[in-house]
Amino acid sequence: MKILGIDTTTKFLCVGIYDNGRICEYNLELGRKHSSLVIVTLKRILEALSWGTKNIDYFACGSGPGSFTGARIGVAAVKGLAWTLNKPVVSVSSLDILVRNAPSDGIIVPVVDAKRSLIYCSIYRKKAGSIKRIAPYMLLPINDFLTKVKPDSVIFGDALPLYKEEIAKHVKGVKFLDKDYWQLSGGNIIAPALENIEQGRLNTAFDIKPIYLYPKECQIKK
């Protein structure tokens, strides 16, 4: 089984490759150049692997929450490839990708700066290497976030520079991971993708869409 997974919800293009048990990853900082470089970069990666697109069994797409524009670019790229090849797609939340950076067990809370004094987040329980999401994907102001987080949680992500002091003041025993753990990784797309495939949670090119937690701002007005 071969899987190609991509996430473009940050300034990095994160690509995960699964080839019958072997996992490779490519993480390239593209800034705001995703739209012009994502397909070119994917082509180069596939050529380096000596893969043809017809050999791919599943596509996995990091669907957000994150950059509105970035999420749309990644979803559009996967839609085009999957539709052309008539292949199934697995949609993976970018928070589900990020949480896999956490090295230890416990209650894990990835936090992403959503701008406008808001935080993208969810809550997970990690035990013996198994990760389970125990809260929905949320968009919260800091005061609401503080009511959701349990003592002794592990918190990390690029929202920490803005809110670390306030979190430490209000949540007992909280542990913070430094910025080495804040970046999405292409390899971490594969594990949640495999889980979705095994459980039959598949999409077609027509029904995948970004996870928008700012619904009103993202509507196109005619």
Report the distance separating Cα 170 and Cα 146, nearest Å: 7
Domains of the chain: 2-93+184-218 (3.30.420.40), 104-176 (3.30.420.40)
Q: Which two tokens stand for residue 91?
A: 């949609």
Q: Residues of the chain whose pLDDT is less than 50?
A: 219, 222
pLDDT tens digits, one per residue of 99-153? 999 999 999 999 999 999 999 999 999 999 899 999 999 999 999 999 999 999 9
Q: Residue 33's pLDDT is what?
A: 79
Looking at residue 119, its pLDDT comes to 97
pTM of the predicted protein model: 0.92
- With CA atoms as reference, report the closest residue to 101 among 167, 203, 37, 183: 183
Position of tokens 């940050």? 10
Q: What local confidence, expressed as pLDDT, does residue 217 receive?
A: 55
